[in-house]
Amino acid sequence: MRRVTLFDYGAGNLHSLAKAIATVVGADVRVQTDPVKALDTDVLVLPGVGAFGAAAARMEPGRQKMRQALENGLPCLGICLGMQLLFEGSDEGEGQGLGVFKGRVTRLRARHVPHIGWNSVDEDAAVQGTKLDTVYYAHSFVCRAEEPEVVVGWTTHEEDRFPASVRRGKVLGVQFHPEKSSTAGVAFVQAFLKEVAP
């Protein structure tokens, strides 16, 4: 049975995400508030609700060990804020991200912020065998990747084009909320889990 652990940085309701993951056959979903204990798992999930500074502070006691675990091959899915925590830092708040991806998180360059609602994904190549067309977003900040090759999907809000998804090996970050993106989003999560932790 695959252990899937949601690292809870105390920011929001994890119910819909846990429910989406639980639909994967053989998934044992756990929630852990300790960043080091969260690494005792087959797949780590960084959920997508909250502010960067507060989440980074909760992650800080285990940040180095978490980064090392991901570099050593621990599969990880970062969603919205969770994707942002995979980068080096954010204009939204103090603290360091994991730095798995080079770049910084900045505020959306748009008149209407936050960006809430459905939007398309271009050049989606995040997970083999899945194709996302339209997904659900709820965010004011976006990742500015310094390594173009890690970007595996794009979205445009007004005039600002930003990464919808980034991937390096078994570490995947998505700016959107797959657990709120209807059946296609749930299927996306399922496909990723089956690929990285068969």
| Catalytic choice (115, 139, 157, 177) | 177
**Is beta strand 43-46 parallel, antiparallel or unpaired with respect to 76-79?**
parallel
| Catalytic choice (80, 92, 139, 157) | 80
Q: Which one-letter DSSP state was computed for residue 74? A: -
Please say if 177 is a catalytic residue. Answer: yes
Can you say how many angstroms the Cα of residue 134 is from the centroid of all Cα atoms in its chain?
A: 17
Question: Phi and psi dihedrals of 137, rounded to 5?
Answer: -120, 150
CA-to-CA separations, 67 to 23, 25, 147, in angstroms, rounded: 28, 28, 18
Q: ∠196-87-50 over CA atoms, to 5°? A: 90
Please say if 80 is a catalytic residue. Answer: yes
The DSSP string of 6-69 is EE--S-S--HHHHHHHHTSTTEEEEEES-TTGGGSSSEEEE---S-HHHHHHHHGGGHHHHHHH
Please say if 143 is a catalytic residue. Answer: no
Q: ∠3-133-146 over CA atoms, to 5°? A: 75
Residues with a catalytic annotation lie at 80, 177, 179
